[in-house]
Structure 1
Amino acid sequence: MKLVFAGTPEVALPSLLALAGTDHEIVSVITRADAPLGRKRLLTPSPVAQAAAGYGYPVLKTNRLDAAATDQISALQPDLGVIVAYGGIVREPLLSVPRLGWINLHFSVLPRWRGASPVQRAVIAGDELIGAAVFQLVPELDAGAVFGSFTQPLAAHSTSGVLLDELSHSGAELLVRVVAELAAGTAVAVPQTGEVTLAPKLVRDDARIDFTQPAASVYSRIRGVTPEPGAFTIVNGAVLKLIEVAPSVNEPNLPAGTILQRDKTVLVGTHTEPLVLLRVQPAGKTAMTANDWWRGVGAESVLAS
């Protein structure tokens, strides 16, 4: 088949590379426009744009799938559109341009966690299972019938970044299988059933940690917002990023938000048992061990808020 692929970040790369290894023809790759990155804010092509250029695929860089983009894609007469973490919405008339419409690889088991941050929200919520689904794109958000899905246990200590990387590879295998079934005419889509939950995009305030919550909830939130937008708290009026945190073992409780060092272990109190701070990043500095940071604090205890 003739495929149009839409994706932007690294999590979309395994799917693009997997499809590139099939007999299908990728007639265009759609990705978001170059974005300023780094301290110098240099305009940088997206990971998908860079990979597509390496394969020699025609690349359409756009942040809006508007009439002009629709005309360009229509001229290619694609059989199928494939979208993985593009970062934009496909609306009519573009939705109906490919002969078989569009399919989307989504990193949740629908209808749970429809939206932009499914893995992050699953980790924050303390879900026991995560997964991915390939579904038919429809005008309603992530509501189309599902061609295939899988689940796996949510590892107790994994961050959302680690889990997304894992799902991007296993999800790519699922996506290739569904595309093959669509090409063969054997694909079957099943309507979504069950309770709908939403996964809106995370914002900075989602990453500010509330230590008055139980330790399990705090730990889940920290993992859910790592690496983006990045867990943080305020200590002595300055931002302290929480890079790596772990549960404590047999440590006495501390008042919520209190940070202190016991036996070379830096602890922070929650509503229940404390958590262990392993790596942190003070404002304006590079990431460091919590013990190195604590030596610079020079206090018996501080309060995180």
Structure 2
Amino acid sequence: MRLIFAGTPGAAVPTLDALISSDHEVVAVLTRPPARSGRGRGLTPSPVAERARSAGLDVIEASSLKSPEIAGRIEALDADLAVVVAYGALVPQSVLDMPRHGWINLHFSDLPRWRGAAPVQWSILAGDQATASCVFQLEAGLDTGPVFSRLRVDIGHETAGELLERMARLGADQVLDVVDAIADGTARAVPQEDAEGLAHARRLDADDGFIDFAAPADAVDRRIRAVSPNPGAHTLLPDGRRLKLGAVDAVDSDSPGVGVLTVTKNEVRVGCASGEVRLGLVAPAGKGWMDAPAWGRGARLDAGAVLGSTTGGR
């Protein structure tokens, strides 16, 4: 089949690679325009744009598919099917209708649970033991279309970035299987179950990454993993400066108090509402990542120093 691929971040690249290597033809790639990044805030093409250009594919960079110009370019491709993985913009109904078989989407949650932009992060934050990647028929509603394929994925003690990377690799072959089934006429999609009462997986922001430790240790652990690497976890030092936090380990022990720091030669612990967390990597303001014990020895904080705040620091 003649395929359009739409995606933007690194998590979309494994599926693009699978389609490029398949018997189908990727006739064009849709992706978001270059974004500013790095210390110099220079414009950087999306990972999907870079991969597509390296493969010699036609790249259409667009932040919206609503303009007549972009819609006209998509229609002119005369595609059989469009495949979406984290493109980052809604597809208008008129554009959904252009490919002969419509659009399919790889979504990283067990639909209908966690519809929305950040399903992996919310799965970890909620303490889900497992999730799934779903390939579904894209329609006007938000992640509401019938599902062609569902692949269960157990959630380990991993960050959102690590889980997303793993699911992106697994989902690539899953998408290709669905594309092949659509091509030979054997694909069957099953309507989603009633989603009443299920929460929306909104995009997380910097406020969601603020850690005040006023929660049980396992909940603090989950929140830090859920926001890593983006938007990132941080807390406040006693002097009000920020301290970035990498992944932690929950420790089943008596808490010395919410946010109370315990520094020894080999570890740094922080008290939670119940239990403690053992810090891994940390990054003080203006400095790079370092092991928490090395930071703790050099920080020379007073005994009983408290990290975080329940009222500010966001």
TM-score, scaled to structure 2: 0.94
How much has 1:275 moved relative to structure 2?
0.6
Counterpart selection for 1:271 from 246, 270, 273:
273
- Structure 1 residues 131-163: Cα deviation after superposition (integer angstroms, max 9, x where no partner): 1000000111000000001112111x1111110
The residue that corresponds to 1:96 in the other structure is 97
State the 1:183 CA deviation. Answer: 0.4
Write the letter of the residue equivalent to 1:258: V
Give, as a single letter, the amino acid of the residue that structure 2 aligns with 1:277. L
User: What residue is the counterpart of 1:223 in the other structure?
Assistant: 225
Q: Map of 1:136-285 to 2, 5 A cutoff?
A: 136-155=137-156, 157-195=157-195, 196-235=198-237, 236-248=239-251, 251-262=253-264, 264-285=266-287
Change (3 A) 1:286 1:263: closer
Structure 2: distance between partners of 1:286 and 1:278: 14
5+ long unaligned stretches in structure 2: 309-314
Counterpart Cα distance in 1 of 2:267 and 2:35: 40
Aligned to 2:30: 30
Q: Is the 8 A contact 2:265 2:297 kept in 1?
A: no
Distance 2:217 2:250 in 1: 8
Map of 1:287 onto structure 2: 289
Structure 1 residues 150-183: Cα deviation after superposition (integer angstroms, max 9, x where no partner): 112111x111111000000111111000000000
AA of the residue aligned to 2:131: I
Which string of whole-angstrom CA distances, capped at 9 and with x for unpartnered residues, describes residues 193-246 of structure 1? 143331000111111113111111111111111111011111120111101311
CA contact (8 A) 2:133 2:153 kept: no
Structure 1: 4+ residue segments shifted above 2 A: 194-197
Gaps of 5+ in 1: none
Counterpart CA distance in 1 for 2:142 and 2:212 is: 30
CA contact (8 A) 1:255 1:271 kept: yes
Q: After the TM superposition, which of the residue ranges 291-300 and 12-21 deviates more from structure 2?
A: 291-300
Task: Determine if the alignment matches structure 1 residue 120 to structure 2 residue 121.
Answer: yes
Asked if 1 retains the 8 angstrom alpha-carbon contact of 2:247 and 2:279, the reply is yes
Write the distance in 2 (CA, Å) between the matches of 1:219 and 1:121.
Answer: 13
What is the aligned partner in structure 2 of residue 40 from structure 1? Answer: 40
Aligned residue for 1:205, secondary structure, equals helix
> Identity across aligned pairs (percent)?
44
The one-letter code of the counterpart of 2:59 is: V
Query: Structure 1 residue 263: deviation in Å?
Result: 5.1
Q: Which residue of 2 aligns with 1:51?
A: 51
- Of stretches 18-27 and 288-297 in structure 1, the one that deviates more from structure 2 is 288-297
Once the two structures are overlaid, the 10-residue window that deviates more, 286-295 or 142-151, is 286-295
Please name the residue that 1:16 is paired with: 16
| Deviation of 1:44 (Å) | 1.2
Residues 141 and 230 from structure 1, CA distance in 2 versus in 1: closer, same or farther, beyond 3 angstroms? same
- Alpha-carbon distance in 1 for matches of 2:276, 2:147: 42
Distance 2:221 2:14 in 1: 29
Quote the offset at 1:99 in angstroms.
Answer: 0.7
Preserved contact between residue 124 and residue 226 of structure 2 (Cα < 8 Å): yes
Task: Please give the secondary structure, in 2, of the residue aligned with 1:36.
Answer: strand
Contact 2:259–2:271 under 8 Å retained in 1: yes
Specify the SS of the correspondent of 2:221.
helix
The letter for the 1-side match of 2:226 is G
Distance 2:263 2:88 in 1: 43
Q: In structure 2, the residue corresponding to 1:187 is in which secondary structure?
A: coil
Supply the distance in 1 between the matched residues of 2:61 and 2:174 (Cα, whole angstroms).
Answer: 26
Aligned pair count reads 303
**Matched letter for residue 145 of structure 1:** P
**C-alpha distance in 2 between matches for 1:265 and 1:167:** 32
